[in-house]
Structure 1
Amino acid sequence: MSVFIFKAVDENDKVVQGTLHAPSMNLAQLRLRRVYKSVLMLREDDQKAMSAAPVFQMSPRVKVESLAIYTRQMAVMVEAGIAINRALRFVAQGDDQNLNLVMSRVADGVEQGKSLSRAMSEQPRTFGDTYTAMVRAGETSGHLEGALKRLSELLEKTVNMKKRITSTFAYPAVIGVVCIGIVSLFVFYILPMMLPMFASMGVDLPLPTRILIGVVNIFRDPKIIIPLVIFVLVGVWILVQFLSNVDKASQVRYQVDGVLLSLPIAGPLISKSAQARVLYTMASLLEAGVALVDVLNTTESVAGNAVLAQKLSWTRKSLIEGASVYRALEMHDVFGQTALQMVKVGEETGQLSDLVRRIGQMYEDDVDTMLDNMASMLEPLIMAVMGIVVGFVTLASFLPMVNLLRQL
């Protein structure tokens, strides 16, 4: 597969330029003529040429924010009647270069005769199971623009949730960094300057100062700090390797997630946020016309928690065996009783997708409340801990001066 750089004129007489993946120059020119009024320039990009590329090319990592924007733009274009390959080419001229490359590959697949969902499934690092399932359902039902709109909303929900969590911990983190900087200034700069003066005047060092000096000497002794640094680096490497292989060892992942869910404060937050994500995904898939069994199969991969994913798997099996949605979810304790009652009403009234979305909103509100409560607890707690540390360091630094003044 080769990469071609082109410059062409669209139907609005606007000159556009970009890149195109194609097996040959003739095929690249043929594809461009299908999309544009005329082709001004077409040449192979030798630096990016890819020979004998596999069908499933390695997709670059893309930001969820960018994918949400591109999906929203595609929905608008498809709703306006623009052909899907042209819509893909248009969005591939956006600001995110990695996503531009992915969209160009998808456009290549569509122009080769593949369906949009099939072309997207060949870029699995960018388009997950939920994304391709909703696109496939939109293609089948003939309402692709609606599926793309729901996808963009789902992605935006994910982005907003991440921003909300980040903002909750941002302020305490800044306070912590500032306090660590102040402590380091006293410990490694001010105190070492003052110690020779105290020693020359024969000042008795109080206990807090002796403790602080002992800690400083430990961290300044190469015989101690070098093995300690090596030990920490090896520990971090082992932890990274363990976490990277957790997904491959499902039993280990299940145990780790079970421990996380049992934590006093973080556990309910992790559980609620995962359930909210699953509920929004379920609602979007149901609205797109995906079968309920397939919905549960897809949501297992977006749960982000092995315990919840296992419960969804059991629920799916119960559905296949003939249980109702409400009974299957209740049997495996997937959601709380309030949510289950709403599912029961939705199943009985034929408004399951609408009520599932409302439950998701309810759970998202619960997560917001938990984050607010956590922030209100974290800030004074961190301030108290840092106040104690800074107070101890300050006391240890200035107590010798008090003793010196007493001796004068």
Structure 2
Amino acid sequence: MRIYKVSILKKGQKEEIILKAENKVEAIKKLNAKGRGIIIKAEEINVPFEEKMKELGKIIKATFTRKKLNYPMFISAIRQLGALTKASISIKDSLDNIAKNSIDPLVKEMFEKAANDVDNGLSLSNTFEEYEFYVGNLAVAMVKLGEKTGELGEALEDMADIYENIEENRQKFKSAMRYPLITLTAMAGAFTVLIMYVVPKFADIFSQLHTELPLPTRILIGAEYVLSNYGLLTLAILIIIFIAHKYFYRTNQTYKYGIDGLMLKMKIVGPIVEYASLSRFLLVFTKLTKAGIPMIDALTISNGILDNSVLNSKIENVIKSINQGQNLTNSLEKNNILDNVTLQMIAAGEEAGNLDTMLENASDYYKTQFDIIIDGLGDAIEPIMIAFIGALVLLLALGIFLPMWDMAKAARA
């Protein structure tokens, strides 16, 4: 979310309202919907200090006490809500029923809150906005779409399909990373034990040499000294760095843009982020287009589900280009978002008048590419793991044996 200051004219007097929105268009739409007055100007501003402190508090709380959302149960609850809504059962009764039967505490809490909000005349999207930290902006966007079009049941079922796709990708990624993470964790643990309990014994022996120790040995002794004397401080610093990163990532657009750009440029991580994000973007864009939503609105809503600000910026440029009279294919090509295969699909769809079908094919193509990358992730990481483990073993071997060789030479002399 970004922060916007909107100047309005109400009863002859100028007022300024601060609100959160994904972009300037959404900020204006929010105020128009509330009928607050005549909008004069809307501009993005830096996050106010009070909001920064609130965000910092949320991040610190989430780091240590954050509730975890059970995504399979959340998806099941959304699918039930969609089916009950399409069956013309009241939204309040549907929410109460799902909350009563849910065994996940966070899902139960969310749907109970939604039932109370609806009973008090608020919209369902109001509750999802409050729980956006857990469910993401996709849920908010899809519920708002359903409320806007009057097809809430369809929107909820589409949202469940999208979340199932996201959860499937997440599980594939976790499965691919499980072996490398277990291996590296075991190696790091073994290395730490050796540093803490083995190196000190050799350090006492090496200190009797009264000569300058080799660099690998000095590194090991230095690591042991830091862990023994400043271990807790080092851990605290790492936690502070982690919290600071999350804080600036959520409140500073320049910092977020830089990190997101770096992520896209990384050799292994970049393609995963790009294909996963664009596959999800195309999937939502396809469903919105099929639902008859105007292209600009569909692009704006679909852009709201992207977490990467570099891709966000490119889609915003696409929207500007279309507003200036360019077609979708040229706008996407100009901003270098999709590859040539996908662009040809979309171009053919625009020419033949079946854009939604071609967008669906493009989404499937990106999902397939993502699956290929995930399937080959283990093979891609394996050489890095071997190199890393080899470097640790070499450091230990050289750090311990080089001085011992020097001692043997001195004894023979």
- TM-score for the superposition, normalised by structure 2: 0.70
Go from structure 1 to structure 2 and tell me whether the alpha carbon gap of 1:319 and 1:143 turns closer, same or farther (over 3 Å shift): same
Q: Which has the higher helix share?
A: 2
Go from structure 1 to structure 2 and tell me whether the alpha carbon gap of 1:172 and 1:132 turns closer, same or farther (over 3 Å shift): closer
Shift of 1:221: 3.6
Where in structure 2 are the equivalents of 1:65-80 lying within 5 Å?
A: 65-80=72-87
Shift of 1:180: 2.5
> 1:121 and 1:266 mapped to 2: Cα distance?
29
Which of 236, 248, 251 is matched with 2:254 structurally? 251
2:157 matched to which residue of 1? 149
Shift of 1:205: 12
- TM-score for the superposition, normalised by structure 1: 0.70
Please tell me whether the aligned partners of residues 286 and 360 of structure 2 are also in contact (alpha carbons under 8 angstroms): yes
1:176 matched to which residue of 2? 184
Go from structure 1 to structure 2 and tell me whether the alpha carbon gap of 1:130 and 1:375 turns closer, same or farther (over 3 Å shift): same
More divergent stretch after superposition (98-107 vs 259-268): 259-268
Q: Unmatched 5+ residue regions in structure 1?
A: 1-57
Go from structure 1 to structure 2 and tell me whether the alpha carbon gap of 1:398 and 1:106 turns closer, same or farther (over 3 Å shift): same
- 1:85 and 2:88 correspond: no
Go from structure 1 to structure 2 and tell me whether the alpha carbon gap of 1:226 and 1:351 turns closer, same or farther (over 3 Å shift): farther
> 1:321 and 1:159 mapped to 2: Cα distance?
37
Please tell me whether the aligned partners of residues 129 and 298 of structure 1 are also in contact (alpha carbons under 8 angstroms): no
RMSD of equivalent CA atoms: 3.7
Shift of 1:100: 1.1
Please tell me whether the aligned partners of residues 260 and 267 of structure 1 are also in contact (alpha carbons under 8 angstroms): yes
Which of 309, 312, 316 is matched with 1:313 structurally? 316
Query: What are the superposed Cα offsets for residues 368-402 of structure 1, whole Å, 9 maximum, x if unpaired?
Result: 22233332021233124313433553576578599
Go from structure 1 to structure 2 and tell me whether the alpha carbon gap of 1:387 and 1:263 turns closer, same or farther (over 3 Å shift): closer
> In structure 2, what residue type is equivalent to 1:111?
D
Shift of 1:195: 7.3
> In structure 2, what residue type is equivalent to 1:76?
A
> 2:195 and 2:117 mapped to 1: Cα distance?
61
Please tell me whether the aligned partners of residues 154 and 280 of structure 1 are also in contact (alpha carbons under 8 angstroms): yes
> 2:319 and 2:85 mapped to 1: Cα distance?
33
> 1:177 and 1:61 mapped to 2: Cα distance?
23
- Could you say which structure has the larger radius of gyration? 1
2:142 matched to which residue of 1? 134
> 1:385 and 1:115 mapped to 2: Cα distance?
52
Q: Unmatched 5+ residue regions in structure 2?
A: 1-57, 59-65
Query: What are the superposed Cα offsets for residues 68-118 of structure 1, whole Å, 9 maximum, x if unpaired?
Result: 221122223334443322221121131221221111121122233444445
- 1:386 and 2:389 correspond: yes
- 1:103 and 2:111 correspond: yes
Where in structure 2 are the equivalents of 1:7-406 lying within 5 Å?
A: 62-93=69-100, 94-117=102-125, 120-121=128-129, 123-125=131-133, 129-139=137-147, 141-190=149-198, 192=200, 213-221=217-225, 226=229, 230=233, 233-234=236-237, 237-238=240-241, 240-390=243-393, 393=396, 400=404
Go from structure 1 to structure 2 and tell me whether the alpha carbon gap of 1:306 and 1:244 turns closer, same or farther (over 3 Å shift): same
